[in-house]
Amino acid sequence: MTVETRPRTDERTEAQPEKPSRSWSEWADYDKYVYGTVGVALFLFVWWFANTTGLLDPKFLTPPQNIVTALVDGFSADGKLGRQVLPSLRRGLAGFLIATVLGIFLGILVGSVRTLDKLFEPILNFFRNLSILALFPVFLLFFGIGEESKIAIVAWAAFWPIFINTTNAVKGVEKILVSAARTLGAGRVYIFTRIVLPAAFPNIFPGLRLGASHAFTALVAAEYLGATEGLGIYIRSAQEGYQIPAMYSGIVVLGIIGVTLNLVLAGIEKRVTGWQLGITSR
C-alpha cells in the first residue's frame, strides 16, 4: 500500500508580505526642513555660547534670549514694535507691486522687441548700476519727504531684478520652438501667448523673489527720510537710545517678513510652474 505524502505547509513559516517602506525620495522632501532646523539651532547655540563665555560682548551683540524678551515686550499691548510693522508692510508691498507690474511689462516688451533691447541697453545698464543711496536726493526732489518718495525708492530697488530676469527669460526662449510654430503656420500673437510667455514664465519668478528681497532691504533706508513710523525708524531710535535688544528685535522682524514673503512667492512659483517640474524631473 502506497501512502501519498504531501508537503505540509506551516502557516507560521510562510513569508509575510513586507510593508512598503518610504523611499528616499519621499524623505528627501523633508530633508531641507530637518537640516534647516538643525542649522538654526546650532547657530543660536553658538551665539548663546559666545555671549556666555565672554567671546562676544553683550553690549554689542545681545544674547538670543534677551532679543526674544524684547520681541515679546514689543508686541505686547503697550509695545511699540507691533505698531511699526503695518506702515513698513504697506510701503514695502506697495513698492514691490509697482515694481512687479512695471518690471514684467517692460521686461516682456524689451525682451520681445530686439530693436528696443539694442536701443536702450546702454541707458538701462547705466541706471541699473547706480547706487540707490546716490539717488535719494533725486527721489526727494521729485516726490518730497512723504510716502511717495519712500514707495518710489522701494519700487526702484525691486524693479531691476524683476526687469532683468524677465527680459532675459523672454530672450532665452529656445528659437527652435518659435521656428517650429512658424513652420506649422502659427501667427505672432499665438506664438507670443502660447509659446514665448509659457516658456519664459518659470524664469521670471527668481527675479520676483530677488526683487522682494531688494524691496525690504531698501525699505529701511527709505524710512530714514523723514518717516515718523516704521521698522526703520524703530531700529534707528532704539540704536540712538542704546536699547540694543529692541534694536535687534526690529531687525529680526524685518528678516521674518522677508523670509515669509519669499516662502509665499516660492509657493506660488511651485504651484504655477509645477508642470515644468514634472517635465524636467523625468
- Domain architecture of the chain: domains with CATH: 62-277 (1.10.3720.10)
At 238, list the grid cell.
532704539
Who wins on pLDDT, 238 or 14?
238
Q: Is 0.75 surpassed by the pTM of this model?
A: yes
Q: Which letter, b or e, does each residue of 57-96 get, where b requires 16 or more Cβ atoms within 10 Å of its Cβ?
A: eeeeebbbebbeebbeebeeeebbbeebbebbbebbbbbb
At 215, list the grid cell.
524691496
Q: What mean pLDDT, rounded, does the chain reach?
A: 80
What is the C-alpha to C-alpha distance for residues 13 and 156, in angstroms, rounded to an integer? 74
Give the helix ranges, DSSP H, for 172-280.
175-183, 188-191, 197-200, 205-223, 231-240, 244-272, 274-280
Q: What is the pLDDT of residue 23?
A: 55
- Asked if residues 95 and 214 have their Cβ atoms less than 8 Å apart, the reply is no
Q: Range with the lowest mean pLDDT among 22-36, 106-120, 123-137? A: 22-36
R_g (Cα) of the chain, nearest Å: 28
pLDDT of 235 strictly over 60: yes
At 8, list the grid cell.
505540509
Give the helix ranges, DSSP H, for 53-146.
64-74, 81-112, 114-128, 136-143
What is the C-alpha to C-alpha distance for residues 156 and 98, in angstroms, rounded to an integer? 9
Cell 511689462 appears where?
105
